[in-house]
Structure 1
């Protein structure tokens, strides 16, 4: 079945993979984006008759309101993402990630279906050896984690919605982000052949960007059975520490050297392991392994030779 879908921030890292997949499935897609990074990642989509795009801010209710009236689904991707960028622009982080969700809930009708990406970084620092499930209390420790947890509550309390608590995303995208952990470490391995790690025992979960897109398609196709719930979206076999991640990269780049610094600390303090069993029980399973993603990134970094592809 074909739906009319509005994607805010659709020209970003995730949207640049998701929007073409939605179009291939026959959905009518409209993107609202301010193109703050100067990206041209959706140019290929312009050939589709069932694609439209507007330059504007997702916080601007005068733009958002008329667009909402024409769509069945809303996927609000617009956000300032990542601890460094959020620390640099705290007001923009709050207004884009949380206040825009308030506007969306206020302007949307009860019939609108919302699928919102949040983050499993909301779990903050977990208990050693204890998996974080969707029932685990959220204890975000970064501004990004705090506002995304607030946005999730706003949308789920409204109803007719699904929240995806995304693991750390990796993989190539037309609007690339090198600053994400797997992407960053692989970039350093390809270009510098070494990395110095702070607090290498800290663990987190990972998910390939194309599996993120698949999760959204899965939610659209199974909305009634999944609605009004949060879901962790990650790979169950990829709850890895930074040191374990580097070992995986070294398997693909044997001369990569990684060292753990005895001094210094990581500004991103999250440390947890995550269960993805809930979404797996709905029939969703990731297809792209960490190894496949690293090999993909290695090829991509033969093309990308500078660091403009990031949020910092």
Structure 2
């Protein structure tokens, strides 16, 4: 990752992203007015009369005016006027209190060292700052109460008519999301991203400050943030969750929480808020092990917890599909290529990096088949689905990839070796992944007219070029691997909800038996 530059620091970025919109100007004007109102109330509470303001006008204007200016600059730097960042009310109150405390100290020092305020007493400065903090906090608390689901008028306040030009991307700071957000913005859509941004700001650096981008730095399991985020949105694209077999196997309860429980909650809230389209990121891993070429009507045969979580998520979303709420599940092939948050725990990317840096290409199970697709083509497929007539995609699943990119892992190794001739292919069959499948992509090609623009050869060339030019650092760092990130940071901070039981029913192989014949399932340990 590139080192953080001076202008990427959060306060500076927040300040630079403030837009002079009527709403922002009004909020700034109100906050300044509140500070002056707090001073006026403090002045009167001291037993002074309004007519005594004029003789002390110069000092009052200088000190209170300077305090107002400093407060607004600090509020801007804290992101309180930032269109691209949203914080819950309690976070805003905390930031206001800390900033005003700083203003109090600055004003006190200015008065003590310069006498700028003239005859104003020190305790008047103190009561003004305390009063301003209280008034501003009351305004934020009032906003929180009005947004509350328990407030009788909350639906009138928070519910907007869905706008087809507004898209919410959940998990937009990830591997796929960072490519998708740019594609959506380039297409003229207004995009909100709901993401905790665990991997920092780098994934969305290419679109930072875009006037049509709103970044909501929250866990998508945070109900208040989620409810606000979906309001007025025409389409929700759900990319969030734990991705990959190793990452999901690391903590099964967390996987169920993030991948299944949260998906159900997101779908239900989106439907209740009037969202028209819901696009879900699934995986061709749901097909598991199969000797024949599979399509969207083939039986599921998941070989991992990750795959089972995708089967369960598709099931809970399918139950929500209706004429007014169109659910589409996109089953991605194994993804490769460079994006804003590149992963090197994916087979093509990893083997390319090892070929360049280690001069070896280690293949486990060279005869296993996999379908492949470039991350930018995945983004294009999502946009194609978004723009398709609803009757073509409602309640449907589509495999995303191309028939021409079904390869064995041995084939992939040979294609990489052609571009990195010094790398030796090492075949190791001591550990063989149970997944083995070829996939048909006829449905998305014939129904939606989608075909990938990338070939696996061009994707390999891209990854090799990026690694060779040192545009990425050590490919083995946790930044580039979902499971290594979990191991380094732990899972405690990710755990929100208690597993209640229904999720396990959807995750169980007994449930999957209703979808796939029992004799097709190779039962792994639960």
TM > 0.5 fold call: yes
- State the Cα distance separating 1:193 from its structure 2 match: 1.2
Partner Cα distance (1:105, 1:292) in 2: 37
Tell me if the contact between 1:246 and 1:258 (Cα under 8 Å) persists in the aligned partners.
yes
Partner of 1:192: 358
Query: Which residues of 2 match residues 153-168 of structure 1 at below 5 A?
Result: 153-159=315-321, 160-168=326-334
Matched, 1:221 2:367: no
- Select the structure that is richer in helix: 2
- State the Cα distance separating 1:63 from its structure 2 match: 1.3
Pick from 435, 438, 441: which aligns with 1:273? 438
Q: Secondary structure at the match of 2:280?
A: strand
CA offsets, 1:218-241, max 9 Å, x none? 011114122210000112111111
Tell me if the contact between 2:241 and 2:258 (Cα under 8 Å) persists in the aligned partners.
yes
Change (3 A) 1:196 1:48: closer
Query: Which residues of 2 match residues 1-312 of structure 1 at below 5 A?
Result: 3-109=165-271, 111-127=275-291, 130-159=292-321, 160-224=326-390, 225-262=392-429, 264-266=430-432, 268-282=433-447, 283-301=449-467, 302=469, 303-306=471-474, 307-308=476-477, 309-311=480-482, 312=484
Tell me if the contact between 1:2 and 1:26 (Cα under 8 Å) persists in the aligned partners.
no
Provide runs of 4+ in structure 1 moved above 4 Å.
none
Partner Cα distance (2:458, 2:206) in 1: 25
- State the Cα distance separating 1:199 from its structure 2 match: 1.6
Tell me if the contact between 1:105 and 1:155 (Cα under 8 Å) persists in the aligned partners.
yes
Task: Compare 49-58 and 38-47 and name the one that shifted more.
Answer: 38-47
The TM-score normalised by the length of structure 2 is 0.57
Unaligned runs of 5+ residues in structure 1 are: none
Q: Secondary structure at the match of 1:284?
A: coil
Tell me if the contact between 1:46 and 1:52 (Cα under 8 Å) persists in the aligned partners.
no
Question: Which of 1 and 2 has greater Rg?
Answer: 2
CA offsets, 1:90-128, max 9 Å, x none? 22211111111110122122543101110001101012x
Partner Cα distance (1:265, 1:40) in 2: 35
Name the structure, 1 or 2, with higher relative contact order (CA <8 Å, separation 6+): 1
- State the Cα distance separating 1:261 from its structure 2 match: 2.1
Q: Secondary structure at the match of 2:175?
A: coil
Partner Cα distance (1:97, 1:299) in 2: 34
- Select the structure that is richer in strand: 1
CA offsets, 1:20-56, max 9 Å, x none? 1101111010001111223421133232211101111
Tell me if the contact between 1:94 and 1:147 (Cα under 8 Å) persists in the aligned partners.
yes
- State the Cα distance separating 1:196 from its structure 2 match: 2.6
Partner Cα distance (1:199, 1:255) in 2: 22
Unaligned runs of 5+ residues in structure 2 are: 1-162, 485-526
Task: Compare 56-65 and 211-220 and name the one that shifted more.
Answer: 56-65
Change (3 A) 1:74 1:13: same
Partner Cα distance (1:5, 1:112) in 2: 11
CA offsets, 1:276-311, max 9 Å, x none? 000000211111000100000011112213022221
Task: Compare 296-305 and 174-183 and name the one that shifted more.
Answer: 296-305
Partner Cα distance (2:328, 2:268) in 1: 17
